[in-house]
Amino acid sequence: MSLYSDRRDARLLRLLMILFVCALSGAAQAACRDAVVLVHGNAGTPTQFDNTYIELRARGWREDEILRPAWGSRTCAACNDHAGSEEIPVRDALVEAIARSCTGKIDVIAHSMGVTLAAKQIVGYGLAGDVDAFVGIAGAWRGLWSCGSYPWNVATSTCGAQGLSVGSPLLASLASRPLAMRTHSIKSWIDQIVCYGGVCTVGGRHSSEIDGETASYTFATGHFGLLTDTAVLQVDLID
Whether the CB-CB separation of 186 and 207 falls below 8 Å is answered with: no
pLDDT for residue 8: 61
Distance between CA atoms of residues 120 and 132, nearest Å: 16
Report the number of distinct structural domains present in the chain: 1
Pairwise pLDDT comparison (53 vs 10), residue with the higher score: 53
| Residue 109 domain flag | yes
Q: Is residue 4 part of a domain?
A: no
Domain-embedded: residue 217: yes
Question: Residue 20 above 80 pLDDT?
Answer: no
| CATH number for 144 | 3.40.50.1820
Is position 28 within any domain? Answer: no
Question: What's the CA angle centered on 219, arms 178 and 169, to 5 degrees?
Answer: 35
What pLDDT does residue 228 have?
99
Alpha carbons 217 and 184: distance in angstroms, whole number: 8
The domain of 72 spans: 33-238
The pLDDT tens digits for 130-146 are 999 999 999 999 999 99
Residue 8 in any domain: the answer is: no
72-98 pLDDT, tens digit each? 999 999 999 999 999 999 999 999 999
In a domain, 3, yes or no: no
Say if 180 falls within a structural domain.
yes
Q: What is the pLDDT of residue 31?
A: 79
pTM: 0.89
Any domain includes 201 = yes
